[in-house]
């Protein structure tokens, strides 16, 4: 009896162990870009959070919508008030699995192409996405980047006809994580 409990406790510790192999960042960058006949719209948020569990390949990203900075203050206000409704849906998140090449963490410098499969939640709507990404290992510093396109209609973000020439439905998103840090266990 006691032995079984001891085993269980041990086992539970064993399950917790991979937590040490997590990487994280608080300083990732997300840029989105909309190219339209009247004007181009670009916004940047450099407070992207991400945790990457290397053992399981699980990866998560989270960003506050109000943290996007636009060139024009009015665009920023409209973005938050009228389009993404930041008060109602404060965050955009991504949860997925990185199909990690085996030798990625063997300590060898190099560039690796990976595919991230997961779901993107934006404006309260979750959609599956597949994102090709690049991971770079340079002198034990791991950095990553990815670029993909989303459709505003997929996320129920409506563009009134009157400004249809100002905002594209195709939004190009670029994600850059300059360096992932090891997440120390609490």
Partner 1 sequence: MKKIFLYTLISLFSLSLTAQEEMLKGIEDSIPAREKVTGAFKSTRVINAHSIEMLAKHNLDFRIMHRFGFVSDGVKQFFGLDAASFRMSFDYGITDNLTVGIGRSTFRKELDLFLKSRLIEQSRGQRSVPVSVVIAAGTMVFTEQSFAPVKPGFSDRTAYYFQLLVGRKFGNRFSFQLSPIVVHSNMPVNVTEDKTIFAAGGGGRFKFSKRAAFTFDYHHPFGKLDAIYTSPLSVGIDIETGGHVFQLQFSNATGMNERAYVTETTGKFFRGDIRFGFNLSRMFKVGKPR
Choosing from 20, 40, 82, 153, the residue that interacts with partner 1 (CB under 8 A) is: 82
Can you say how many angstroms the Cα of residue 131 is from the centroid of all Cα atoms in its chain?
10
Using CB under 8 A as the binding rule, whether residue 161 contacts partner 1 is answered as: no
Do 122 and 155 contact (CB within 8 A), yes or no? yes
Reference 53, options 98, 12, 116, 93; nearest CA is: 98
What part of residues 2-31 is at the interface with partner 1 (CB under 8 A)?
Answer: 4-5, 8, 11-12, 15-16, 19, 22, 24, 26
Q: Which DSSP helix (H) or strand (E) runs through 57?
A: none
Beta-carbon-side half-sphere exposure of residue 155 (alpha carbons within 13 Å): 25
- Per-residue binding string, partner 1, 27-66, x by CB under 8 A, is --------------------x-xxx-x----x-x-x-x-x
Burial grade of 61 (CB within 10 A; 0-12, 13-18, 19 or more)? buried
Binding site for partner 1 (CB under 8 A): 1, 4-5, 8, 11-12, 15-16, 19, 22, 24, 26, 47, 49-51, 53, 58, 60, 62, 64, 66, 69, 71-74, 77-78, 80-82, 85, 87-88, 90, 93, 160, 162-163, 166, 183, 186
């Amino acid at each position: 009896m006691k032995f079984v409990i001891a085993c269980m406790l041990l086992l539970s510790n064993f399950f917790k162990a991979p937590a040490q192999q997590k990487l994280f960042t608080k300083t990732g960058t997300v840029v989105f870009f909309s190219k339209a006949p009247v004007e181009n719209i670009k916004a940047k948020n450099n407070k992207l959070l991400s945790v990457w569990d290397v053992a399981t390949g699980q990866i998560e990203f989270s960003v506050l919508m109000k943290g996007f900075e636009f060139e024009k203050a009015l665009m920023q206000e409209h973005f938050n008030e009228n389009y993404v409704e930041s008060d109602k849906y404060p965050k955009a998140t991504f949860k997925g699995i990185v199909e990690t090449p085996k030798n990625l963490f063997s300590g060898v410098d190099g560039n690796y192409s990976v595919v991230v499969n997961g779901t993107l939640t934006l404006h309260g709507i979750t959609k599956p996405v597949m994102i090709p990404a690049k991971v770079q290992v340079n002198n034990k510093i791991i950095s990553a980047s990815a670029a993909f396109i989303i459709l505003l209609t997929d996320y129920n973000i409506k563009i009134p006809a009157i400004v249809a020439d100002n905002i594209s439905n195709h939004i190009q998103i670029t994600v850059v994580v300059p360096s992932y840090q090891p997440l120390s266990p609490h």
